[in-house]
Chains A and B, each alone.
Chain A
Amino acid sequence: MGKYIAKRLLAALAVMAIVSFMTFSVLELIPGNAALIAAGTEGSATSVASIAAELGLNRGFLERVLLYYKDLLSFDLGVSSYFGENVSTLIGQRLGVTFSLAFFSVLLAFIFSVILGSAAALGRGRLIDALSRGVVQIFSSIPSFWLSLLFLILFSSVLHVVNVGDYVPPSVSIRGYLSSIILPVAVLAIGETGPLLRLVRASMIRVRNEDWYRIGKVRGISRMRLIMAYALRYALPGPLTLAGSELAKLLGGTAIVESIFALPGLGRLFLTAVEMRDIPLVEGIVIFVSFLVVLMNLVTDLVLFFSNPTMRKAGGIKL
């Protein structure tokens, strides 16, 4: 077991190395740099050169990359060239926002999917099944940025119920916090519901066809008890692992929603960092997010690994 985890972590390191090197290369290839941005249209050519030297941009590409990795080994992510602040501080300030969005939206989508999915698969009515399938299709077809705009129009400008662009951390006011994230969470949750609901419904249909479920029914165990005590326990690991990996994906994928709702999250920080050619900040975010993704995938794989011994044999987990 320990060996497996060690191997996975090693692979994770390899992935992060590839990703961070790709990021360096992309930033090297696209035109413009932080020194040009700092000087703008009012600074002079000599100042561009002196700012570039200050930021270490006058060194060669490989030298800069190696210096960065050297610092990284001592867990130093460097200083943002645009904000002049430590990259780790900047990421820390925003993690709460992005994590709140990702966590609550996946949680909401998960609860909704389990309720609707079980009802659709195990319930009697065909109507509710048709409804759940309709929800899957429509929810996975709505562009999230469009939905954000619609929500913005409806709740903020027509109904005036939610304030936008004023993020309140939970430590200040729980109510303010919830009201500042509720719209983006709803938008993201709708996007996550499609795949989750589909999977819950499919696993529940499998449950329906299991012998023990039929026997349970014949023996007259109440439907509610049967679902709560047996069916869910049997069917949920799959959807849970999906929820885990969706959560990981969202940590790097809330940029658009954050910028429409003007929330100070990681995604928006990333967009700004790229725009400002802030190499340490871009690198820091990319490395951090890919680390989280790899970690979440490892956790979900381990859950799967423990829950289903056949996976070990079938080679479902590639080492």
Chain B
Amino acid sequence: MKRVYSAALAVFLLSVFLVSCSKNISPEETQPVAPSSSSVRMAIAVDPDGLDPQMSASASTFQVTSSIYETLVTVDESGNIQPCLAESWKIADDGLSITFILREGAMFSDGDACDADAVVSSFSRLVSPVSVRSQDYSFISSVEAVDENTVHFEFSTLDVTALAKFAYPWSAIVDTEHEGSLRTEPVGSGPYMLSSWVPQQSLILERNPYYDGECGVDMIEFVVMSDMTSAVTAMRNGQLDIILITGDLVGLFEGDERFTIHALPTNGLQLMAMNNESEGLDDIRVRKAINYAVDKNALIEAVWWGYGEPIGSHFPVVLSEYADMNGKYPYDPDKARELLAEAGYGEGELNLRMFLPKNYQEYVNAGQVIADMLRNVGINVDIQIVEWATWLSDIYNGRNYDLTVVGHTGRLDAYSLLSRYRHDAAENYFNYENAEFDSLLDAYVRETDEMKRKEIAFRMEEILAEDVPALYIQDPIQIYVTDSDLEGFRTYPINIFRMDLLEYSYR
């Protein structure tokens, strides 16, 4: 008898434990939002890396923080600068200083004023070593509050792209009084504020009561769904309002009037980087051979279902300084073999190691397709799939690789985008070196004439297309599916969402 009782006791204890555990998730944290016209549920694949925009470099952070904080200026869909926290601004004639006039009455979500002093202390934090972006803003030599609504920036070097730097989401104005806890308890002056965040489950934003602008919806819920299958299922069952999908899934939504499909080119690019110092790849003929060997259209079809714009240089098609370099290396395997033979590599004599970041299934797929195409021209490719952390440490920072496939997010100007090709840049994981290119970069930031600046950008793109430090694959097209009643959803050339512009219409 005794043993049965002890066994029963054990089971009972477990049940008690279970019940007490499930209570750990308190109701107000996870209460699903009642379906109402004023709430939007959007699926995101990964959690933000904290909600402090100055302490993160991850796109997933800015997608959320762009609704919580405000930047001095912002951009429209085509990348034109628009007022945000600053109503107006004036750039000095010599380009070495800029003055912003702030919107009157802007307030942080805790009720404190978001005035010139707040802007100054937020920027002091941004340029200090604690921030991830300090280097990008090292051109700022001083920031001062002229009066309550006026902030004056002085620059140490001429940078014609300076204004755009005040639009990027990482330059957002944070309430530095809360600087230690912004990662989990953000305080900003944006239209929304954090209501709750249970990592890997959901993140809920509600209206910032101190925000004086208009908002079409009162509540935004980001639902963390790492698996696209479950996100798509939930969307089709009407539990979500916005999701991002891959090309193969478009057919599931097409022709269904409940949904609107937005397929839009983004400001970004995907490429296969080559280590320009590796044996074999240090020969430009080999790099060209690789470019001839890859059928980009087939690659884009295989991996992205045709949703992508092929590119021939390190430049997204959506930017105004884009020049089409696609014609340089048409798919031509015979030409590739010829060039390889010229460089001294016969069939099967060139061995290359390819590293692919595991977390990005599209890059893993692209790498495998490219490897198969390279094998066809007699290059042996040894694939290794590594974790993102390993990739960052050994490949990106350690530069111990031959080939790797990865993507880069776009910037608003050619300099920010291309400065990683400077021979001594820490981010130059290609090990690329070209003196003409370096001097063009310097010339670009000092050139105040827009037309001439464009010419310089074109030349830089041409040099990269000529030297091919990488195989440039495509500017990706992102496919969002939204509830067809939801209006105002747009994508922007920088990593932001404008949730305040969303609103529901009724048929």
Contact = CB atoms under 8 A, between A and B. Distances in A.
A276 B200 contact: no
Given A32-B393, A39-B132, A300-B10, A172 B24 contact: no
Given A164-B234, A262-B226, A303-B7, A41 B50 contact: no
Contacts of A156: 229-230, 233
A254 B147 CA distance: 58
B494 to A, nearest CB: 12
A152 B230 CA distance: 9
A83 B183 CA distance: 8
Interface string A167-192: 11111100000000000000000000
Contact of A169 (B30, B129, B184): B30
B505 interface: no
Contacts of B25: 93, 96, 169, 171
Contacts of B129: 46-47, 50
A43 B2 contact: no
Contacts of B229: 152, 156-157, 164
Nearest to A237: B3
A166 B223 contact: yes
Nearest to A106: B14
Interface stretch (B92-100, B284-292, B383-391): B383-391
A145 B426 CA distance: 42
Given A165-B233, A167-B201, A302-B6, A44 B406 contact: no
B146 interface: no
B135 A44 contact: yes
A268 B32 contact: no
A299 B135 CA distance: 57
A38 B130 contact: no
Interface in A233-249: 233, 236-237, 240, 244, 247
A295 to B, nearest CB: 10
Contacts of B130: 50, 54
Interface residues of B, number: 73
Given A33-B389, A90-B199, A237-B7, A84 B184 contact: yes
A73 interface: no
Given A84-B50, A103-B14, A166-B234, A41 B408 contact: yes
A306 B3 contact: yes
Nearest to A170: B22
Nearest to B24: A92
B327 interface: no
A218 to B, nearest CB: 24
Interface residues of A, number: 71
Contacts of B23: 96, 171
A127 to B, nearest CB: 31
Contact of B22 (A90, A171, A277, A302): A171
A39 B132 CA distance: 6
A43 B132 contact: yes
Contact of A165 (B1, B47, B198, B234): B234
Nearest to B4: A233
Nearest to B229: A152
A80 B59 CA distance: 20
B50 A83 contact: yes
A191 to B, nearest CB: 19
Interface string B1-29: 11110110011011101100111111100
A43 B389 contact: no
Contacts of A262: 225-227, 230
Contact of A46 (B49, B134, B398): B134
Given A96-B25, A163-B237, A262-B230, A36 B397 contact: yes
Contact of B239 (A30, A166, A247): A166
Given A40-B57, A51-B132, A272-B200, A165 B230 contact: yes
Contacts of B392: 32, 36-37, 39-41
A103 to B, nearest CB: 5
A275 B47 CA distance: 13
B22 A96 contact: yes
Most buried by B among A172, A236, A262, A299: A262
A231 interface: no
B246 interface: no
A104 B231 CA distance: 25
B58 interface: yes
A233 B408 contact: no
Contact of A38 (B55, B223, B224): B55
Nearest to A89: B24
Most buried by A among B15, B50, B359: B50
A45 B18 contact: no
Contacts of A299: 10, 13
A38 B387 contact: no
A51 to B, nearest CB: 7
Contacts of A140: none
Interface in A241-264: 244, 247, 259-262, 264
B409 interface: yes
Given A44-B427, A96-B21, A163-B233, A172 B389 contact: no
Interface in B379-417: 387-394, 396-398, 406, 408-409
Contacts of B224: 264
Contacts of A48: 397
Contacts of A33: 389, 393
B80 interface: no
B47 to A, nearest CB: 7
A134 B284 CA distance: 63
A214 interface: no
A128 interface: no
Given A99-B22, A303-B10, A171 B27 contact: yes
B136 interface: yes
A32 B390 contact: yes
Interface in B38-65: 47, 49-50, 55-58
Contact of B3 (A100, A163, A172, A307): A307
Interface string A64-95: 00000000000000000011110000101111
Given A85-B184, A171-B27, A264-B199, 18 more contacts: A31-B394, A32-B391, A33-B389, A36-B397, A43-B57, A45-B426, A46-B135, A50-B129, A99-B17, A103-B15, A156-B230, A164-B233, A166-B223, A168-B30, A233-B1, A240-B11, A247-B14, A276-B389
20 contacts: A36-B392, A37-B392, A38-B132, A39-B57, A41-B408, A46-B129, A47-B57, A50-B130, A50-B131, A84-B50, A90-B199, A93-B201, A99-B22, A156-B230, A157-B229, A165-B227, A244-B10, A264-B198, A268-B200, A275-B388
8 nearest A-B pairs in the assembled complex, by CB-CB distance: A32-B389, A165-B230, A307-B3, A84-B183, A96-B22, A45-B426, A32-B393, A44-B135
